[in-house]
Amino acid sequence: MSTAFLFIYVISLFIISSLTNSSVLIVLFVAALILFYKDTAGSLKRLLYLLGPFVFVMSLATVVYYLLKTGRFDRWDILLNFNLRAGLMAHLSFVFLRRVNMFDAVRFSRPLTTILSMSVAQIYTYRRLLSDFYTTLKSRTIKKQNLTGSPRWAGTVSVYFMMLSIRNSKEMAEALRSRGV
């Protein structure tokens, strides 16, 4: 059953990404909010927190681009379509990930199961490392710090995670190649 939901989810994302009519996107977004009403409150909070900054920057970049190119901005339909499409796809993704066990959904494919298990292991490793870094920061400073309290610390940790992810991706690619995936 999870595999069927996975295919429905992927097909719906392709359909949503091809829609260009604002009215249809609004109707689908409202329908998704109503259909998955139990997940709506948590999903909307996460949409604002995770998607808000991305949508804001992309919308601002679009407005600036059109202002520099034509001297005026009258393409509000583009912004509305982009924001509705991103919000709807993110909402459906949150609902899907909350309701479907991904390991059951990709059970039909051994390579997908392998990639998913490696990805989940990476996520938990990075979360633990970030927690360790934050604990180290707290134990070595007198003032109370948060994750962005020290720009130098945040930069150092970011560079560490970038270098670690590059190294790990090379190792994973070699491991997958050796397994024939």
Residues 118, 85 share a domain: no
Residue 79 contacts residue 63 (beta carbons within 8 Å): yes
Looking up tokens 């479907």 gives: 100
In this prediction, residue 173 carries a pLDDT of 84
Q: What element of type H or E holds 153? A: helix 151-178
Distance linking the first and last C-alpha atoms of the chain: 25
Number of independent structural domains in the chain: 2
If you average pLDDT over residues 126-146, what whole number do you get? 80
pLDDT digits (tens, 9 = 90+) for 18-30: 998 999 999 999 9
Q: How many Å apart are CA 140 and CA 136, to the nearest integer?
A: 6
Same-domain status, 17 and 79: yes
- The domain in which residue 33 lies consists of 2-104
Question: By CB neighbour count within 10 A (0-12 exposed, 13-18 middle, 19+ buried), where does 78 fall?
Answer: middle
Summarize pLDDT for 52-107 with one digit per residue, the tens: 888 999 999 989 998 998 888 888 888 999 999 999 999 899 889 888 999 999 99
Tell me if 111 sits within 8 A of 118, measured CB to CB. no
Same structural domain, 137 and 76: no
**Encoded tokens for 148:** 């962005």
In this prediction, residue 149 carries a pLDDT of 62
Task: Determine how many CB atoms are found less than 10 A away from the CB of residue 6.
Answer: 19
77 touches 24 (CB < 8 A) = no
Q: Are residues 98 and 116 in the same domain?
A: no
Same domain, 119 and 90: no
Task: For residue 161, give Cα distances in angstroms to 118, 153, 165.
Answer: 17, 12, 6
Distances (CA, A) of 131 to 40, 49, 51, 145, 158: 29, 20, 23, 13, 13
